[in-house]
Amino acid sequence: GESVGLHLPTLSVQEGDNSIINCAYSNSASDYFIWYKQESGKGPQFIIDIRSNMDKRQGQRVTVLLNKTVKHLSLQIAATQPGDSAVYFCAEPHNQAGTALIFGKGTTLSVSS
Amino acid sequence: DAGVTQSPTHLIKTRGQQVTLRCSPKSGHDTVSWYQQALGQGPQFIFQYYEEEERQRGNFPDRFSGHQFPNYSSELNVNALLLGDSALYLCASSLFRAGTNTEAFFGQGTRLTVV
């Protein structure tokens, strides 16, 4: 069945380091992926998305890489800041007809000063 | 521009009771999805409403039902509450585009505790 999973439940980095959060997906037909950030007590916040016709997409301090061959997605955060501390989820659509999403379990990023 | 708003923010109910949660979508959005997020887990898709009809449904029992109003706002109803229904309930809104996926914006959620 469809599922979106993450390699590591937690990641601890020093302020200023680059962070890489990984995600493996199982549905090879998925053509859209999204990364969300969720801070404690808040709803998920959209970070960046990528469609399957792209391998890489860059935002402000964030880059998403998509490797369709091995069904792997990663989120890179440059110069990680304490404010980046949160749980990060990758997500893919429930199907191609709408915006219902399937989420992985999340990676908790902790940034120390 | 108001984002997605949910009410109430917190709620405590007793087993067997019924609960109604409310969501107002982001301005300009016409589609509302509901998710259940247990502690330490990712959000799980419950169902999605568009044009006042349930369009997609996740693996949740019939105790979970919903409604969408003409102004695109939505309600999530849960009957015969179980302890396991305790979770953060999230609402997400988006703009429907046929044949493609669009960005979904989430509200802050309603924390439901069943005792």
Q: What is the mean pLDDT of each run of 10 residues along chain B (115 residues)?
A: 90 98 96 95 94 94 98 98 98 85 89 98
pLDDT tens digit sequence for A70-94: 999 999 999 999 999 999 999 988 7
| Sign of torsion over alpha carbons A6, A32, B64, B76 | positive
Six token digits for residue B45: 């898709």
pLDDT of residue A28: 82
pLDDT of residue A4: 62
pLDDT of residue B1: 54
Residue A93 has φ and ψ, to the nearest 5°, of: -65, 145
User: Is pLDDT of A97 > 60?
Assistant: no
Residues of chain B with C-beta less than 8 angstroms from the C-beta of A101: 33, 35, 43, 45, 92, 104
Residues 58-77 on A with a CB inside 8 Å of B are none
Q: Which residue of B has its CA nearest to A31?
A: B101
**Residue written as token pair 């999403």:** A101
pLDDT tens digit sequence for A14-46: 999 999 999 988 788 888 899 999 999 899 999
| Residue predicted with more confidence, B7 or A97 | B7
Work out whether strand A107-112 and strand A10-14 pair parallel, antiparallel, or are unpaired: parallel
Kindly state the average pLDDT of the residues A95-106. 76
Question: What is the DSSP annotation of B29-88?
Answer: --EEEEEEE-TTS--EEEEEEETTEEEEE-S--TTEEEEE-TTS-EEEEE-S--GGG-EE
Kindly state the average pLDDT of the residues A62-73. 94
Q: Give residue A1's pLDDT band: very low, low, confident or very high (50, 70, 90).
A: very low
Q: Does B15 touch chain A (CB under 8 A)?
A: no
Q: Does B114 touch chain A (CB under 8 A)?
A: no
